[in-house]
Amino acid sequence: MRDDDWLAQRFEENRPRMRAVAYRMLGSSAEADDAVQEAWLRLSRADTDDVQNLGGWLTTVVSRVALDMLRSRTSRREDPLDDDGERDSATVDAAALDPEGEAVLADAVGPALLVVLDSLAPAERLAFVLHDLFAMPFDEIAVILERTPVATRQLASRARRRVQGARAPSVDPARQRLVVDAFLAASRNGQFEDLLALLDPDVVLRADEASIENARIGRAQGAPDLVRLLHGSEAVARVFHGRAAHAETVLVDGVPAAAWAPGGQARALFRLTFDGDRITAIDMVGDPDEIAQLDVTLLR
């Protein structure tokens, strides 16, 4: 039996991440605090002796609470604006966050993005927030949404397209393609400074489980060590430095990206988010099911 002091300590260790998740789900500091408090009440009433990953359990609980709050808000047609207005998402608990939380905050999540998130259906918002901002695997998100992983991937993809469209209403695909070409060339040729110049200082690299496993298998051939979430231009540049020899520029859902496509079949994707001529996020996709859901066009 786990004692109350131990549970309280573990809860406080996970509070910053839970609040970050709840804030991005709800867009309100007060509601985020309410969701975290509800998670504590559920923890205090639950039998957690068999829970192996308490942090993951708490993230799941606070996500479900936030999802219920979003659905209730939608049914009442409430406007999900921050009711106290004291802080935006760029400053929420920044000092208390661990490196993963700091990376999430740095991922250009501000008031403008919250406005776009407010336009999404609750399930779309949860799938996008947990996968794209917190690198949670789709099979875990699917359990929360009570949907299949394939359906959950589709929700996140639909939300991602809306978010990217709202962030960049006047993008120049031709210019973005030049950025991808330059990024791949700098990677192949080991031009570290050129890589840094193309990456935003706060760039985020997200890798799915399939990409992490493929890198582990290919380590003897020079594949990099991958983790779910990596933050900062120097760390991300080191992953690609001297690599990407067989990657090529492609279009993914009409947006310039990179892919490893032996025999003309995409086996791994590098989806990019741009801010002008700089890359602010890279999503490594190795899951065949997810790749199959995307519109990939080779530009050979």
pLDDT digits (tens, 9 = 90+) for 129-146: 999 888 889 999 999 999
What gap in Å lies between CA 221 and CA 200, rounded to an integer?
Answer: 28
DSSP state of 292: H
Sheet harboring 229-231: ordered strands across?
229-231, 199-207, 278-285, 268-275, 255-260, 247-252, 296-298
Is the pLDDT confidence value at 128 over 60? yes
Sign of CA dihedral 156, 159, 161, 167: negative
Output the CATH code of domain 173-298: 3.10.450.50
pLDDT for the residue numbered 76: 56
Find the mean pLDDT for residues 238-248.
91
Answer for the pair 191, 145: CB distance below 8 angstroms, yes or no: no
Taking residue 256's Cβ as centre, other Cβ atoms within 10 Å add up to: 22
Domains of the chain by residue range: 4-167, 173-298
Answer for the pair 150, 141: CB distance below 8 angstroms, yes or no: no
Residue of 138, 244, 126 whose CA lies nearest to 183: 244
Taking residue 223's Cβ as centre, other Cβ atoms within 10 Å add up to: 15
Find the mean pLDDT for residues 199-213.
91
What is the assigned CATH class of domain 4-167?
A: mainly alpha
Find the mean pLDDT for residues 270-293.
89
pLDDT for the residue numbered 224: 83
Same fold, 4-167 and 173-298: no
Find the mean pLDDT for residues 197-223.
88
What gap in Å lies between CA 251 and CA 145, rounded to an integer?
Answer: 30
What gap in Å lies between CA 204 and CA 273, rounded to an integer?
Answer: 10
Residue of 77, 10, 65 whose CA lies nearest to 35: 65
Distance (Å) of CA 3 to CA 8, 10, 43, 53, 233: 9, 11, 12, 17, 42
Share of residues in the chain with pLDDT > 90 (%): 43
Share of residues in the chain with pLDDT > 70 (%): 84
pLDDT for the residue numbered 299: 85
Question: Which pLDDT band holds residue 2 (cuts at 50, 70, 90)?
Answer: low
pLDDT digits (tens, 9 = 90+) for 147-168: 999 999 999 988 988 887 665 5
Is the pLDDT confidence value at 170 over 60? no
Residue of 198, 285, 184, 180 whose CA lies nearest to 241: 184
What gap in Å lies between CA 300 and CA 283, rounded to an integer?
Answer: 22
